[in-house]
């Protein structure tokens, strides 16, 4: 690629890859870090290797950025590539045409279940990493996992089980999996769908899995590219519900208006037994606009808008379509919540505005009160880009507020980066009072690219 092409296709400053791995201790803090925040915030995202261009916002080896907090101090920042087969130069498709699920990028999410910290990407196996972000290797749960693993597994806060799925370009196109609370893979079940679709996320409730079978399908003609999926008008759009507490349960499908969903907020069963799903929805034209950016790698194109949307499905009814409603008109993404409410009725959702690669919106963190329909926000300066805001419930430990703790009693943690990529801060906000701004900010030793998803990993007691 010549110099003119690199200049045309290179990503904006706040998305541009960093060239190396570093470790810096004793980070400066403005304000007061809550002493109860003792653990690590770790965030994942694509990061090109030295000598490669940062030309594709969805592709590139995964890089983990971590900040260690303890006793009101920010002890260290550390970043490490996830050393997958792709990082080592291996091809996802082997010489004999098989798919190597270890030769992927692991660049989308990072989370902990049982005794493992896993870096995730939806087209391959998870890769285990250490608490200091070094790569252990691919994880197939004792050889039982033979499909890819979604980057958005769902932890049931009551049972401790981890629900997830794998999708593929070849049969089986969709497989449901469940880990028990100890981290053993105890159930796998093929789900029948017509072809391979790009199913980025899904949802669970107390008793159901909610599937999103949407019209972005695998195209063999695009198989050599970084994103071999495209919109397919003929495929249709539907949501499926399946009892996860009944082995071998069938899926019941409900038709919906054509759309795409990257990220689910939450799902739950209401008092009438209906399933309510809240997620961020792209209308067909908005998905097409967003996908042009991802496929054409041209940051000058206008991005599509995505709005908070609700679907209601009735397992006891005779209908075959879902009821739909738009909950807001702002363009938001990256919904998060208090994970102790996953699959159950939850009052609050947190999203970000202006997080898309080429969004022209000023960035903000938005808190939705689902019960009242109201929202509040923390608005950032125009020169700042914000990443996903992860909710950390108050533990009630030293420094925590006294008295009963509500669902929003806790902290939001996010990385904010100047749009030119020159500097970043770790922000900690009081989730009960977003407009007040950060209670603390940690100066990071470098500009951290705006990536995808992360987790708060509290120290294990």
In the predicted model, is pLDDT for residue 215 greater than 90?
yes
Residue 289 sits at φ, ψ, to 5 deg, of -65, -45
Is 7 exposed, middle or buried (CB count within 10 Å of its CB: 0-12, 13-18, 19+)?
Answer: exposed
Which is more confidently placed, 401 or 249?
249
pLDDT tier, 8 (very low <50, low <70, confident <90, very high otherwise): very low
pLDDT in the model for residue 99: 83
Residues 441, 438: Cα–Cα separation, whole Å: 7
Give the mean pLDDT of 123-139: 97
- The stretch 76-88 carries a mean pLDDT of 95
Domain borders along the chain are 3-458
Q: pLDDT: is 56 or 306 the higher one?
A: 306
CA gyration radius, the chain: 21
Phi, psi of 3, rounded to the nearest 5 degrees: -60, -40
**Mean pLDDT to the nearest integer, 339-357:** 91
Give the per-residue pLDDT at 13.
Answer: 85
Two tokens, residue 225: 């590219």
Least trusted range by pLDDT, from 8-12, 362-366, 370-374, 381-385: 8-12
Tell me the per-residue pLDDT of 385-401, one tens digit each, with 9 for 90 and over.
Answer: 999 999 999 986 555 55
Q: Is the dihedral of CA 135, 138, 141, 143 positive or negative?
A: negative
Give the pLDDT confidence score for residue 364 in this predicted structure: 96
Q: What pLDDT is attached to residue 356?
A: 61
Is 362's pLDDT higher than 90? Answer: no
> Is pLDDT at 29 greater than 70 in this prediction?
yes
Q: What is the pLDDT of residue 456?
A: 98
d(CA 143, CA 130): 20
- Residues belonging to the binding site are 152, 200, 263, 453
Asked whether the predicted pLDDT for residue 5 surpasses 50, the reply is no
pLDDT at 91: 83
How sure is the predictor about 54, in pLDDT bands with cuts at 50, 70 and 90?
low
Highest mean pLDDT among 276-280, 297-301, 317-321: 276-280
**Is the peptide bond prior to 178 cis by the omega test (within 30 degrees of 0)?**
no
Q: Percent of the chain at pLDDT above 90?
A: 77
pLDDT, position 405: 74
Phi and psi (nearest 5°) for 112? -120, 135
pTM confidence score: 0.93
Average pLDDT, the chain: 91
pLDDT at residue 3 tops 60: no
pLDDT digits (tens, 9 = 90+) for 167-205: 998 899 999 999 999 999 999 999 999 999 999 999 999
Q: How far apart are alpha carbons 269 and 337 in whole angstroms?
A: 17
* Structure token pair of residue 372: 């009242």
> Which secondary structure element, helix H or strand E, spans residue 210, and what is its range?
strand 208-213
Task: Specify the pairing of strand 135-138 against strand 208-213.
Answer: unpaired
Write the pLDDT tens digit of every residue in 218-248: 987 665 555 678 999 999 999 999 999 998 8
Strands (E), 18-104: 23-27, 29-31, 39-46, 62-70, 73-81
Instruction: Tell whether the torsion through CA atoms of 196, 198, 203 and 204 is positive or negative.
Output: positive
**Known binding residues for Fe cation:** 152, 200, 263, 453
Residue 24's pLDDT band (cuts 50, 70, 90): very high
Residue 4: its pLDDT value, please?
Answer: 37
Contact 227, 271 (CB under 8 A): no
CATH superfamily of 3-458: TolB, C-terminal domain (2.120.10.30)
Q: What number of residues does the chain have?
A: 461
Phi/psi zone of residue 141: left (φ > 0), alpha (ψ -120 to 50 degrees), beta?
left
**Which structure tokens are listed for 105?**
């990028």
Q: Which residue has the higher pLDDT, 302 or 14?
A: 14
The model's confidence at residue 298, banded by pLDDT at 50, 70 and 90, is low
What are the two backbone dihedrals, phi and then psi, of residue 125, each rounded to the nearest 5 degrees?
Answer: -75, 150
Which pLDDT score is estimated for 397?
A: 57
**Residue 245 Ramachandran class (φ > 0 left, ψ -120 to 50 alpha, else beta):** alpha
Answer for the pair 82, 63: CB distance below 8 angstroms, yes or no: yes
Res 358: pLDDT? 59
Specify whether the CB–CB gap between 79 and 64 falls below 8 A: yes
Find how far residue 388's CA is from the centre of its chain.
8
416: buried, middle or exposed (CB in 10 Å: 19+, 13-18, 0-12)?
buried
Percentage of residues in the chain having pLDDT higher than 70: 89
Q: Please say whether the beta carbons of 364 and 353 come within 8 A.
A: yes
């Amino acid at each position: 690629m010549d110099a003119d092409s690199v200049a045309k296709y290179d990503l904006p400053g706040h998305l541009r890859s960093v060239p190396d791995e570093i470790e810096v201790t004793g980070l400066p803090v403005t304000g007061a870090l809550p002493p109860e925040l003792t653990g690590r915030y770790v965030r994942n995202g694509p990061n090109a290797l030295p000598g490669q261009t940062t030309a594709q916002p969805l592709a590139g080896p995964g890089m983990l950025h971590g900040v260690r907090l303890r006793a009101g101090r920010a002890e260290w920042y550390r970043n490490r590539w996830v050393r997958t087969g792709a990082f080592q130069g291996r091809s996802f498709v082997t010489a004999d045409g098989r798919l190597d699920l270890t030769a992927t990028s692991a660049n989308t999410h990072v989370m902990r279940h049982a005794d493992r910290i896993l870096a995730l990407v939806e087209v391959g196996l998870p890769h285990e990493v250490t608490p200091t972000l070094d790569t252990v290797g691919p994880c197939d749960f004792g050889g039982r996992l033979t499909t890819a693993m979604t980057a958005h597994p769902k932890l049931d806060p009551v049972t401790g089980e981890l629900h997830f799925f794998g999708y593929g370009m070849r049969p089986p196109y969709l497989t449901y999996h469940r880990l028990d609370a100890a981290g053993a893979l105890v159930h796998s079940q093929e789900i029948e769908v017509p072809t391979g679709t790009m199913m980025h996320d899904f949802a669970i409730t107390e008793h159901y899995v909610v599937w999103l079978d949407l019209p972005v399908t695998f195209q063999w003609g695009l198989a050599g590219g970084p994103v071999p999926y495209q919109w397919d008008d003929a495929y249709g759009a539907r949501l499926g519900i399946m009892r996860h507490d009944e082995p071998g349960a069938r899926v019941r499908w409900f038709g919906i208006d054509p759309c795409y969903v990257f990220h689910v907020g939450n799902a739950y069963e209401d008092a009438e037994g209906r399933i309510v799903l809240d997620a961020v929805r792209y209308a067909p034209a908005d998905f097409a606009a967003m996908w042009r950016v991802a496929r054409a790698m041209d940051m000058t194109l206008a991005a599509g808008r995505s709005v908070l949307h609700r679907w209601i499905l009735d397992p006891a009814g005779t209908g075959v379509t879902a009821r739909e409603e738009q909950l807001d008109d702002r363009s938001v993404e990256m919904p998060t919540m208090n994970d102790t409410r996953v699959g159950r009725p939850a009052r609050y959702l947190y999203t970000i505005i202006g997080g898309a690669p080429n969004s022209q919106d000023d960035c903000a963190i938005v808190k939705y009160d689902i019960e009242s329909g109201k929202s509040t926000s923390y608005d950032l300066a125009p020169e700042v880009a914000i990443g996903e805001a992860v909710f950390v419930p108050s533990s009630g430990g030293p420094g925590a507020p006294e008295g009963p703790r509500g669902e929003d009693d806790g902290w939001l943690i996010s990385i904010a980066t100047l749009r030119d990529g020159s500097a970043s801060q770790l922000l900690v906000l009081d989730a009960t009072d977003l407009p007040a701004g950060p209670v603390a900010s940690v100066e990071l030793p470098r500009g951290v690219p705006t990536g995808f998803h992360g987790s708060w990993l509290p120290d294990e007691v």
